[in-house]
Amino acid sequence: MNLATAIQARDADALPGRRDEDWRWTDIRGLIRTVPEPSAPLAPAAAGAGPFAGLATHTVLIGNGHGEAAIEIADDQVVALDVVSQGDGSHAASVWINVPAGANATLLESYRGQGSYLAHTALSIRLGEGARLERIVLADEDAEGVAVSQAEVDLAAKSEFVQTTLAGGARRQRLETRVRHPGGHAQLRLDGVYLLAGKRHADLTTAVTHAAVDGLTDQLTKGVVRDQARGVFQGRIVVAEGADHTEAKMGHHALILSDKAEVDAKPELEIYADDVSCAHGNTVGALDEEALFYIRQRGVPEAEARALLTTAFVGEVIERIAHEGAREIAREWAAERLKG
Amino acid sequence: MLKIQDLHAAVAGKAILKGLSLEVPKGEVHAIMGPNGAGKSTLSYVLTGREGYEVPQGSAVLDGEDLLALEPNARAARGVFLSFQYPLEIPGVPALTFIRTALNAQRKARGEPEVTAPQFLKLVREKSAALKIDFEMLKRGLNVGFSGGEKKRMEILQMAVLEPRLLILDETDSGLDIDALRIVSEGVNAMRSPERSMLVITHYQRLLDYIKPDRVHVLSAGRIVASGGPELALELEREGYDRYARAA
């Protein structure tokens, strides 16, 4: 059930699938009978420019699994990590990212591809004491691609990690973030947006473990699915014994715009500590028809009125992005997907 | 002018309007009064094209154009405006953005150029000041967290910016205290014009002390059962709707 190992060994039986509790809505094993041949290396020139190219002080390209594996992000740096998949092969990459103590940095991560590839990216992100990292993930895979990204994030005391994941789906797409939260005034914001059409599938899975006192987690994910698309949200927050005074908030809200679209959500809070403040909210519904009529009565055509409502719905998440340039790109990305 | 003839309407197979006929000439204000369940709100929704209302018979024509054949947004672009009894909250869409989107959509549908941002801001500042609306409020999500009075003033502001030809006020006085009622009424009266027709739908006579109608019609059981001058409203206030309920 380890995707990287399965790709390296070309062992389809080792792919994660519905029998794994954590993968029951994103069944890779049931989808792929044979792990494809390893992908050919990708020349940087063939990759083209990523969506964040103009915003970064430093750009790292991972092309078909090959590229710089260890990245140190210094204070004030904006690093673009551009993960590109091309062709119908399979590939896996591992990336280590370190933000030293006290540094304030930005990671603009993008996924894009062309073909019916099988891709895996493992990230290991470490924040030193008092460090701050904003990570924005824009994942625009091919409709035929299968892509999984798994990030392990380790926070030191007093560090701050804020993340926004923007998922456009793929044949199967999973963006997973696991955060070990040391408490001790460390802060975490974990946001997500998925906008899916056609037969696309996106899975946003997060797991946060609060290990000690005085930690803060704020999580908000919103999705809009239409056609026969499927969105999956799995969010788990564990507050371990002794992690007193933890504050954790989790929200997941989705709009389903057609009868054949589907959203599966599993929010979980496991609390073993005392004196904690934890809350979660989960709603899945249709667009408000009364609001739609109200907007149309003011002269706005139906498609535009729908776009206005859905854009406002996900806007709440996008407006929380601190990096101004990335926020603008996120807005454009959402507008493009939600236009009538 | 608005001309409604023998209008029938049903919701989920249940007949609500049963042959309603009415004419509102340009420049006139007509009040529709009636007991609960008479079909007052149904009339406003049928005229504006809300889904779920079947119209098996009858017509509604504005300046020679068949309204019932048009989409709700096309009716709005031709000048039909409904002030909602319960205005909707639209989180995440600032009132300013909302009103500008509506204005430009209507202008586009009429083949007119869009308003520029400076023109629009000037217009809204002027109109909102007259309605005593704090400009900062227009930067917040439309109607989100607004009081009943603020929501109604926001309706009148939209009306003042969009400049409709036919204005339908659905129970505009509901939920208003006397100060808010005065501000809202002044806003409506400022819109009176020889080019504009108004339909004021209300259960109570109180609103008509502030917005003086040219004609008053009594709607009961889906039909206009009596019409008269402003004195008819006072009579209804004194004697109630019982007499007309029987007549229907």
List of chain A residues whose C-beta atoms are within 8 Å of the C-beta of residue B82: 297
User: What are the structural domain ranges in chain B?
Assistant: 2-247
The whole model's pTM is what?
0.90
Q: What's the mean pLDDT in B21-47?
A: 95
Write the single-letter amino acid at B209: D
Percent of chain B topping pLDDT 90: 85
Residue with tokens 């992005």: A321
pLDDT band at B65 (very low <50, low <70, confident <90, very high): very high
Strand partners, A110: A82, A138
Q: Nearest-CA distance from A301 to chain B in Å?
A: 6
Residue B203's pLDDT is 87
Instruction: Give CA angle at B61 (B58, B63), nearest 5°.
Output: 165
pLDDT tens for B121-153 read 999 999 999 888 999 999 999 999 999 999 999
Residue B76 is nearest to which of A291, A299, A311, comparing CB atoms?
A: A299
pLDDT band at B246 (very low <50, low <70, confident <90, very high): low
Residue B243's pLDDT is 81
Residue A296 is nearest to which of B73, B84, B91, comparing CB atoms?
A: B73
pLDDT band at A340 (very low <50, low <70, confident <90, very high): low
End-to-end CA separation in angstroms for chain B: 27
Q: What's the mean pLDDT in A192-202?
A: 98
Q: How many residues does chain A have?
A: 340
Cα(A113)–Cα(A50) distance, rounded to whole angstroms?
Answer: 11
For B49, name the nearest residue in chain A, comparing CA atoms only.
A297
Say yes or no: A305 contacts chain B, CB-CB below 8 A. Answer: yes
Distances B101 to A18, A47, B104 between C-alpha atoms, Å: 46, 39, 5
State whether the Cα torsion A308-A310-A314-A318 is positive or negative: negative
Residue B200 CA, chain-centre distance (Å), reads: 7
Q: What's the mean pLDDT in A319-325?
A: 96
Residue B51 is nearest to which of A293, A295, A312, comparing CB atoms?
A: A293
pLDDT band at B175 (very low <50, low <70, confident <90, very high): confident
Q: Which of B156, B145, B202, B162 is nearest to B180 (CA)?
A: B156
Strand partners, B241: none
pLDDT of B53 > 80? The answer is: yes
Sequence-ordered list of residues with C-beta below 8 angstroms from that of B122, at least 6 positions apart, any chain: none
pLDDT tens for A2-29 read 899 999 999 999 999 998 999 999 999 9
pLDDT of B245 > 90? The answer is: no
Cβ neighbourhood burial of B223 (10 Å; 0-12, 13-18, 19+)? buried
Residue A335 falls inside a structural domain: no
pLDDT tens for A217-266 read 999 999 999 999 999 999 999 999 999 999 999 999 999 999 999 999 99
Domain containing A165: what range? 36-288
pLDDT of A334 > 80? The answer is: yes
B84, B153 contact by CB (below 8 A): no
Interface of B with A (CB under 8 A): 48-51, 71-73, 75-77, 81-82, 84, 87-93, 98, 101-103, 105-106, 109, 141, 158, 162
Residue A19 falls inside a structural domain: no
Cβ within 8 Å, pair A298-B48: no
**How many domains is chain A partitioned into structurally?**
1
Report, in angstroms and rounded to the nearest whole number, the Rg of chain A calculated over CA atoms.
20
List of chain B residues whose C-beta atoms are within 8 Å of the C-beta of residue A313: 92
Residue A117's pLDDT is 98
Residue B244's pLDDT is 81
Cβ within 8 Å, pair A300-B71: no
Q: Nearest-CA distance from A100 to chain B in Å?
A: 37
CA atoms within 13 A on the CB side of B178: 1
Cβ within 8 Å, pair A293-B158: no
Max Cα distance, chain B (Å): 56
Give the three-state DSSP class for A234. strand
Reported ipTM: 0.96
pLDDT of A171 > 70? The answer is: yes
Residue A299 is nearest to which of B73, B84, B89, comparing CB atoms?
A: B73
pLDDT band at A138 (very low <50, low <70, confident <90, very high): very high
For A316, name the nearest residue in chain B, comparing CA atoms only.
B92
pLDDT band at B248 (very low <50, low <70, confident <90, very high): low
Residue B70's pLDDT is 97
Cα(A107)–Cα(A99) distance, rounded to whole angstroms?
Answer: 10
Q: What's the mean pLDDT in A196-201?
A: 98
With left for phi above 0 and alpha for psi between -120 and 50, is residue A123 left, alpha or beta? Answer: beta
Cα(A321)–Cα(A161) distance, rounded to whole angstroms?
Answer: 12
Residue A231 falls inside a structural domain: yes
Residue A300's pLDDT is 97
Distances B145 to A19, A20, A317 between C-alpha atoms, Å: 47, 45, 20
Cα(A252)–Cα(A246) distance, rounded to whole angstroms?
Answer: 20
pLDDT tens for A38-56 read 999 998 889 999 999 999 9
Write the single-letter amino acid at A36: P
Percent of chain B topping pLDDT 70: 99
With left for phi above 0 and alpha for psi between -120 and 50, is residue A10 left, alpha or beta? Answer: left
Residue A139 falls inside a structural domain: yes
Q: What's the mean pLDDT in A172-177?
A: 98
Would you tell me the crossing angle of helices B117-130 and B95-109 to the nearest 10 degrees? Answer: 120
The CATH number given to B2-247 is 3.40.50.300
A51, A138 contact by CB (below 8 A): yes
Residue A184's pLDDT is 86
pLDDT, averaged across chain A: 95
Say what the alpha-carbon torsion angle A67, A72, A73, A79 is, to the nearest 10 degrees.
0
Give the three-state DSSP class for B29. strand
Q: Which of A216, A284, A291 is nearest to A253 (CA)?
A: A284
Q: Nearest-CA distance from B111 to chain A in Å?
A: 13
pLDDT, averaged across chain B: 94
pLDDT tens for B74-123 read 999 999 999 999 999 999 999 999 999 999 999 999 999 999 999 999 99
Residue A68's pLDDT is 87
Cα(A184)–Cα(A145) distance, rounded to whole angstroms?
Answer: 41
A193, A166 contact by CB (below 8 A): yes
Say yes or no: A293 contacts chain B, CB-CB below 8 A. Answer: yes
pLDDT of B247 > 80? The answer is: no
Strand partners, B65: B62
